[in-house]
Amino acid sequence: MKSLCRILTSCRRTPRLTRFPQGSSVGSQPPRCCCCTGLSRSLKPYYITTPIFYVNAAPHIGHVYSAVIADCLHRYKLLRGYNSRFATGTDEHGLKIQQAADSAGKDPQIFCSEVSERYQHAFQRCSISYTDYIRTTEKRHRKVVEHFWKVLQSKGLIYKDYYEGWYSTPDESFLTPNQVSDSRDSEGSLIKVSTESGHKVEWMKEDNYIFRLSDFRSELLLWLRSNPNLIQPVKFQKLVLQWLEDDLPDLSVSRQKSRLQWGIPVPGDPEQTIYVWLDALVNYLTVAGYPQNHSEWWAVVHHVVGKDILKFHAIYWPAFLLAAGLPLPQKIYVHSHWTVHGKKMSKSLSNVINPLDAAEKFTVDGLRYFLLRQGVPDSDCDYYDDKVVKMCNSALADALGGLLNRCTAPALNPSQVYPCFSNTCFPNNQSESLFGRAVPEDYTLVEAVVALPASVERHFDSFHVYKALEAISSCIHLTNGFVQRHRPWKLDRNDPGDQQWLDTILHVSLECLRVYGILLQPVVPGLADRILSRLGVSLEERNWDSLNFLEKYQGKESALEGRALGPDFEMLFRRLERNQVNARTPKIPTQSNLEYC
Ligand code: MSP
């Protein structure tokens, strides 16, 4: 599978995306990868993954949310100078996919390829800059799964036995009797459902291969207890610890071929097919280069997962890894789910949000900003168009766009260069400001922006992207207050003192905008590119090490002072009109039963 970096560039070497072109309209450069920019291969590695997505239905906003979170953390790590690798892809085996292909009347491989392409398309549209895209139907993956199976088997950790128990096909999950409850189907008949997902379960009886999961209970408890921040937010770690307090039965890891053909056959026993979750979880190792070249990447793997698949990633996966003698994940980042007008997205309610439509209505940056600012990992979040419109207008169009527009307008800055800062107008020492023109609130602004990168870093590192965005937003608010307070448009440009102060006000404001532009790159790459391009900030000056806010104030030289601003553009983010958004809403196509099941 070609990585996105290779699709975008002609480079044939192992890629690392340094800049993503979509959404970059001003000052856009061709995309480059690390090999072409001469970045050192000895940079610290970082490996982040999304879950691989089931291809039984088209991508929706919840799927894109998982990918946007991982993309944001990947871009953040690149900015911090890491050699970051970001894997996503599609989960294409199992009963659920077999049934979906059957009901679409399609050959399963063709069916999988069609939906997998839709995921790739949606991700490219939403500026998801993955470096690796994996499909579980690829040969390279099958080989790795077979190898992994043989390792577990050779260690005596898989045995054959008669298995009886509940199975949920929509969740591809085995359930114990106390994870199942009574319910009624649409015709009022009594059925059993998974208490957690609400999906129907069936009683299954088969000869299967069983994994000795119960052997790993105490090791898993030890692992989690000695790494209290491993699963974030921490409430999910507590939940896993609670689950592990209960019995941990052995796990069936195969299905009879007569029931499940669409999967990888058990090595040496073609009458059995490997359980789809074992197959799927191994994708993370396939991308890392297991079994030969995985060590460097595997030591730094971070998984982003939705709350519904926590059990698989925090219990089954580490148990499989322990069994294979492999290191365990560094972090598991868990996010909650999106509802729409308070309801779970479902085809029957026709409330499934198509990410392509949303990106069309709100722009990619608008959508990404909304998801990451409104999405709180601890609890479910509600999505509706008005909320997106309100947030984008207030944060991106008014606060940020207004600030950029004001401070770069030819009316205030006719020479269109980065203006000079005057220490006389804005002395470094507040007590000297009696002679300057800065007021105490201006020093508060400077202090806030100086402290901002560390605060954003802390929030990104602790998986609280929304808090990072709140911190940036509150600094933008302070900067707008600064401009408003000093009304540079009222100053007399013929008076040298006023002109110096005007330049200083603009310099401080542009410095603030430069910092916001750099910090916002992981979240809204296109919009951040437009800010930085307008300010004349080169591609080499956009990483974390270039933040150095207001160097002149600190008595240093500023590389930007006197530099020509970049080309003007109409506006940073066009205000969204509610009615206009509704009128432009494309209807979700319903041409096939692929759509939003
Ligand atoms: N194929 C498995 C994952 C295997 S990983 C080895 C799977 N696929 S999925 O397509 O059902 O879900 C993929 C991701 O999308 C999960 O993280 C899931 O939580 C996320 N979401 C699905 N619906 C969602 C929302 N409504 N809101 C937010 N995320 C949601 O599970």
Q: Is residue 271 part of a domain?
A: yes
Please say whether the dihedral angle defined by the alpha carbons of residues 115, 116, 121 and 125, taken in this order, is positive or negative: positive
- 251 and 397 in a single domain? The answer is no
- Which pLDDT belongs to residue 364? 98
Residue nearest to atom 13 of ligand 1 (CA): 53
- Cα 444 to middle of ligand 1, angstroms: 43
**Domain identity same for 319 and 398:** no
Average pLDDT over residues 203-214: 95
Contact (Cβ atoms closer than 8 angstroms) between residue 47 and residue 388: no
Q: Are residues 61 and 164 in the same domain?
A: yes
State residue 85 phi and psi, 5-degree precision: -120, 140
Give residues with Cβ within 8 angstroms of 552, minimum separation 6.
Answer: 420, 421, 423, 507, 558, 561
The answer to whether residues 322 and 455 belong to one domain is: no
- Structure confidence at residue 570 as a pLDDT band (50, 70, 90): confident
Q: Is the pLDDT of residue 430 over 50?
A: yes
User: Ligand 1 site: residues with CB under 6 angstroms?
Assistant: 51-54, 62-63, 65-66, 91, 280-281, 283, 305-306, 308-309, 337-338, 345
Q: What is the pLDDT of residue 580?
A: 53
Would you say the C-alpha torsion 263, 267, 271, 272 has a positive or negative sign? Answer: negative
Closest atom of ligand 1 to 53 CA is 10
pLDDT at 579: 65
For ligand 1, atom 15: residue with the closest CA: 63
Minimum CA distance residue for ligand 1 atom 24: 62
Domains held by the chain: number: 2
Note whether 90 and 178 are same-domain residues: yes
Q: Which of these three, 293, 309, 335, is where a domain ends?
A: 335
Are 327 and 418 within one domain?
no
In a domain? residue 355: no
| pLDDT given at position 431 | 72
Q: Name the domain boundary from 335, 350, 376.
A: 335
Q: What is the mean pLDDT of residues 315-327?
A: 98
Distance 63 CA to ligand 1 centre (A): 6
C-alpha distances (whole Å) from 406 to each of 109, 410, 483, 485 are: 55, 9, 9, 13
Q: 480 C-alpha to center of ligand 1: Å?
A: 39
pLDDT over 70 at 433, yes or no: no
Give pLDDT tens digits for 116-138: 999 999 999 999 999 999 999 99
At a CB cut-off of 8 Å and minimum separation 6, what does 397 contact? 571, 572, 573, 574, 575, 576
218-236 pLDDT, tens digit each: 999 999 999 999 999 999 9
Task: Identify whether 374 is part of a domain.
Answer: no
pLDDT in the model for residue 336 = 96
The Cα-based distances of 421 to 170, 191, 398, 507, 549 in angstroms read 62, 73, 26, 6, 12
Indicate the angle between helix axes 440-461 and 496-520, nearest 10 degrees.
10
290 and 422 belong to one structural domain: no
For residue 482, what are the domain limits? Answer: 385-578
Work out which ligand 1 atom sits closest to the CA atom of 54.
10
Q: Classify residue 130: in a domain, yes or no.
A: yes
Q: Average pLDDT, stretch 366-386?
A: 96
Tokens of 546: 């270039």
Cα(218) to ligand 1 centroid in Å equals 28
Ligand 1 atom nearest the C-alpha of 307 is: 19
| Maximum separation of any 2 CA atoms in the chain, in Å | 92
User: What share of the chain has pLDDT > 90, as a percent?
Assistant: 82
Separation of first and last alpha carbons in the chain: 26
pLDDT in tens, 467-509: 999 999 999 999 999 999 999 999 999 999 999 999 999 999 9
Q: In testing the pocket of ligand 1, which one of 49, 52, 53, 173 has its CB within 8 Å of the most ligand atoms?
A: 53
The residue among 186 and 402 whose pLDDT is bigger is 402
**Within-domain flag for 6:** no
Does the pLDDT value for residue 335 go beyond 70?
yes
Query: Chain-wide mean pLDDT for the chain?
Result: 90
Question: Does 264 fall in a domain?
Answer: yes
Q: What is the CATH number of the domain that holds 174?
A: 3.40.50.620
Q: Do residue 515 and residue 403 come from a single domain? A: yes
Pocket perturbation via mutation, ligand 1, pick of 52, 61, 63 by most ligand atoms within 8 A of CB: 63
Q: Residue 461 maps to which CATH number?
A: 1.10.730.10
Nearest protein Cα to ligand 1, atom 19: 306
Residues 330, 408, single domain; the answer is no
Say if 516 falls within a structural domain: yes
pLDDT tens digit sequence for 172-190: 899 988 899 999 988 889 9
Q: Does any domain span residue 199?
A: yes
Of 240-244, 278-282, 593-597, least confident by mean pLDDT is: 593-597
Residue 583 has pLDDT above 80, yes or no: no
